[in-house]
Structure 1
Amino acid sequence: MMLKLKNKMLFWLLSCTIAANAQTAPYTLKREITGVQTNWHSLVLPNPMYQKLKPGFEDLRIFGVNGKDTVEVPYLLKQRGDQVSTQEIAFKQLNQSNANQVYYYTFQPSAATVINQINLNFKQENFDWKVNLEGSNDNQSWFTIVKDYRILSIKNQYTDYHFTRLNFPDAKYSYFRLAVKSNTQPELLATKILKADTVKGVFQNIKYQSYNIKNDAEHKETVIDINLTDPVPVSQLSLNAQSDFDFYRPFKIEYVTDSFKTDQGIRYNYMELYTGTISSLEKPVFTFPNTITSKLKITIQNNDNKPLRLSGLALKGNVYELIARFDDPKLPYALYYGNEKATAPSYEIDKFENKIPAGLSSLTIGEEQQNPAYTVKITKPLFENKAWLWVLMAVIIVLLGWFSFKMLRN
């Protein structure tokens, strides 16, 4: 009787283990999650995970084991980048005048409101001017907001570069006056007055193994190859570039998609990530979509100019964060990944994001380990034993001999 009871308990435990492992079996890797105390938590993905995940994180899952059942935890994947919102302010232009090669434009916003950006569009294609911006509440007493702000436009066979946006601290006046210092009459085609608000994202500094600078005189360009420590998300590049004179150079940023071996060594395939202009007028900080890569290439077009002096660079990337709902905080949970056949999950919580509480506590993600429940279906060969092959060959020889004998007899 006791033996039968033990057998039943063993069978029940084995059944529970098989049922619990069924959902997690296709995933090769796992990381334990600790610190679950409430229903809602956040998790920041460790950098070493990115090279093991499918593109788009389609194979990322959170599972908890509850006896014979496996509970899948719904989550939202968030990329903590800068969130910029821009509001255009309605206004009317009151007058236009000039004196001593200074051209004045006065604007009155429809309501006294805060602004911090003015975009200008001139008919001229090539100019280099200095402008002043002033504010007033009575159109008589004027206060300086920015002074000798440089705006520039260059268009030729090599480049098409415009820098005609005024950025300044928040200012609130009833009137704004723009003074353009120019030897010729500026032809102002359009003006936009804006209020730009930026909610700073969460960035992490990216370590790189090395970078190599090559000035290619034949192609008149400077190429910078950057090797990262691991494949990680990159979304911002800062270049420390100097020259004895003002400069503006077209450039592009590319990232490695894959590599292949040749007789000359390893070659890389690149995809374009960012194109723009590096200039002495603007901060050399460039932002682009968060991209996971292990190698970057920067190409600066020098044309017939002397190469820039590049003394350093810095990389940053947006943090990927999971916001997860744990229905039973008492269960043991783990991150699972490494399933080539997995498709992206679809959870309902993305439709009710506004109901997720703020100020979530972050969980601790453990070290990577092999998933003990991982199983691989192996297709066995038709003939595992060589003896079967010898038998098959003997049968074929006998059949060929019989047919040959029959043909000779006829």
Structure 2
Amino acid sequence: MMLKLKINLFTFLLLCTTIANAQTNTYKFKRNISGVNSVWHKMVLPDDLYKKANAGFEDLRIFGINGKDTIEVPYLLKQRVDKVSSNDITFKQINQSVNQNGYYYTFQSPEISLINQIKLAFKQENFDWEVTLEGSNDNKEWFNILSNYRILSIKNNDTDYQFTRLNFPDAKYQYFRLLVKSPIQPELLEAKILKTDTIPGTFKVVKYQSFDLKNDASKKETVVDVTLTNQVPLSYLKLNAQSDFDFYRPIKIEYATDSFKTDKGIQYNYANLYEGTISSLVEAAFNFENTITSRLKITIQNNDNMPLRLSGLQLKGNIYEIIARFDQPKNEYALYYGNEKAISPVYEIEKFESKIPVNLTTVTIGAEAKNPAYSIETAKPLFENKPWLWALMVVIIALLGWFSFKMLKN
């Protein structure tokens, strides 16, 4: 009786393990999740996960195991990027005048408004002017907001560059007066007045392993190859660029998508990450879509100018965060990944995101381990399958016999 009970218990445990493994055996890697003590939690993806998970994270799964039950945990994957919102503020131009200082444009709002940005558009295509911006609530006493702020537009066969946006701290006035210091009359086409708000995302500083700079005189360009320590998300790059004179040059930032071996060593295929202008007028900082990579190539077109002095860079990336609902907090949970054929899961919590609590406690994702339940079923070729070979031989012999009988009968 005792022996039969032990056998039944062993069979039950084996069956539970088989059922649990059935949902997890297609994932190569797992990481235990510790600290689950309530229904809702958040967790940050570790840096060394990105090189093993699928590029689009289709293979991320969270499973909880409790005896014979395997529970899939619904989650949302979030990028903690900056959220920028801009609102147009109603203003009308009420005055335009000129004196020895330059050309004045006055704008009025129906009410006292808070703004922090003005976008200007001029008919002229080539200019280099300084502007001053003032604010007033009675159109008599004026207070300075910006002084000697430089705006620039250059358009020729090599360059098409404009910097005509005024950025300043929040200013709350009913009247704004713009002074353009120009030797000729500016033809102002539009002045778009805005209030821009930014909710900062969560960034993580990214370290790089090497910074290889080459100035190619024949191509009149500077190329910087940057190798990162790990394959991680990137969304911000700031170059330490210096020159003895003002500059504005085309810049292209690319990231490596894959690599291949040649007689000259390992070569890389690149895709565009950012194209624009690096200028002495503004900080050489560039924002782009969060992209996972381990290598960058920066190309600056010098034309006939001396190369810039580049002395390193700063890199940041927005973190990826999982918000998960653990319906049974007492279970043991793990994060699984490493399945090239997986498709993105569809969870209902995506439709009810507004009901997720705001303040969530963080749980820890452990070190990577090989999933012991991982298995790949490989179909054997027919010529290695004996039953199929015997069946094929029988069919061939039957056909030969039938054709032989037909020939002898004739």
Shared fold per TM-score greater than 0.5: yes
Provide, for residues 27-70 of structure 1, a one-character-per-residue CA deviation record: whole Å limited to 9, x for no partner.
Answer: 11000000001111001000000000112100000000021110
Tell me which residue corresponds to 2:258: 258
Tell me which residue corresponds to 1:149: 149
Deviation at 1:9, TM superposition (A): 1.4
> 1:382 & 1:135 partners in 2: Cα distance?
84
Q: Secondary structure at the match of 1:351?
A: helix
Deviation at 1:102, TM superposition (A): 0.7
> 1:183 & 1:77 partners in 2: Cα distance?
55
> 2:159 & 2:66 partners in 1: Cα distance?
63
Provide, for residues 113-144 of structure 1, a one-character-per-residue CA deviation record: whole Å limited to 9, x for no partner.
Answer: 11000000000001011110000111000000
Tell me which residue corresponds to 2:65: 65
Q: Which amino acid aligns with 1:140?
A: K
Tell me which residue corresponds to 2:312: 312
Q: Under a length normalisation based on structure 1, what TM-score does the superposition of the two structures give?
A: 0.93
Deviation at 1:101, TM superposition (A): 4.7
Provide, for residues 76-112 of structure 1, a one-character-per-residue CA deviation record: whole Å limited to 9, x for no partner.
Answer: 0000011000000011111100001510000012321
> 2:183 & 2:341 partners in 1: Cα distance?
67
Mapped pair 1:84 → 2:90: no
Q: Which amino acid aligns with 1:316?
A: K
Tell me which residue corresponds to 1:227: 227
Tell me which residue corresponds to 1:42: 42
Deviation at 1:385, TM superposition (A): 11
Tell me which residue corresponds to 1:136: 136
> 1:3 & 1:93 partners in 2: Cα distance?
95
> 1:29 & 1:385 partners in 2: Cα distance?
32
Tell me which residue corresponds to 1:400: none
Q: Secondary structure at the match of 1:37?
A: coil
Tell me which residue corresponds to 2:2: 2
> 1:40 & 1:110 partners in 2: Cα distance?
47
Tell me which residue corresponds to 2:105: 105
Tell me which residue corresponds to 1:273: 273
Deviation at 1:266, TM superposition (A): 1.4
Tell me which residue corresponds to 1:242: 242
Q: Which runs of 5+ in 1 are unaligned?
A: 390-410
Deviation at 1:382, TM superposition (A): 5.6
Tell me which residue corresponds to 2:286: 286
Q: Which amino acid aligns with 1:326?
A: F
Provide, for residues 329-388 of structure 1, a one-character-per-residue CA deviation record: whole Å limited to 9, x for no partner.
Answer: 1000000001111110000111111111011111111110011111121334667799xx
Q: Which amino acid aligns with 1:222?
A: T
User: Which aligned pairs between 1:322-361 and structure 2 lie closer than 5 A?
Assistant: 322-361=322-361
Deviation at 1:2, TM superposition (A): 2.1
Tell me which residue corresponds to 1:399: none
Tell me which residue corresponds to 2:33: 33
Q: Which amino acid aligns with 1:217?
A: A
Q: Under a length normalisation based on structure 2, what TM-score does the superposition of the two structures give?
A: 0.93
Tell me which residue corresponds to 1:365: 365
> 2:183 & 2:353 partners in 1: Cα distance?
56
Deviation at 1:5, TM superposition (A): 1.9
Tell me: CA distance 1:177–1:385, structure 2 relative to 1, closer, same or farther (3 Å): closer
Tell me which residue corresponds to 2:188: 188
Q: Secondary structure at the match of 1:173?
A: strand
Kindly indicate whether the alpha-carbon contact (under 8 Å) linking 1:101 and 1:183 is maintained by their aligned counterparts in 2. no
Tell me: CA distance 1:385–1:176, structure 2 relative to 1, closer, same or farther (3 Å): closer
Q: Secondary structure at the match of 1:14?
A: helix
> 1:381 & 1:104 partners in 2: Cα distance?
83
Tell me which residue corresponds to 2:209: 209
Tell me which residue corresponds to 1:24: 24
Provide, for residues 203-250 of structure 1, a one-character-per-residue CA deviation record: whole Å limited to 9, x for no partner.
Answer: 001111101000000000000000011111011000010100100011
> 1:263 & 1:74 partners in 2: Cα distance?
48
Q: Which runs of 5+ in 2 are unaligned?
A: 390-410
> 1:65 & 1:281 partners in 2: Cα distance?
58
Mapped pair 1:299 → 2:299: yes
Q: Secondary structure at the match of 2:362?
A: coil
> 2:284 & 2:47 partners in 1: Cα distance?
26
RMSD: 1.9
Q: Which amino acid aligns with 1:378?
A: T
Percentage of identical aligned residues: 68
> 1:117 & 1:161 partners in 2: Cα distance?
19
> 2:235 & 2:67 partners in 1: Cα distance?
43
Q: Which amino acid aligns with 1:187?
A: E
Kindly indicate whether the alpha-carbon contact (under 8 Å) linking 1:101 and 1:184 is maintained by their aligned counterparts in 2. no
Q: Which amino acid aligns with 1:25?
A: N
Number of aligned residue pairs: 392
Kindly indicate whether the alpha-carbon contact (under 8 Å) linking 2:211 and 2:312 is maintained by their aligned counterparts in 1. no
> 2:80 & 2:15 partners in 1: Cα distance?
43
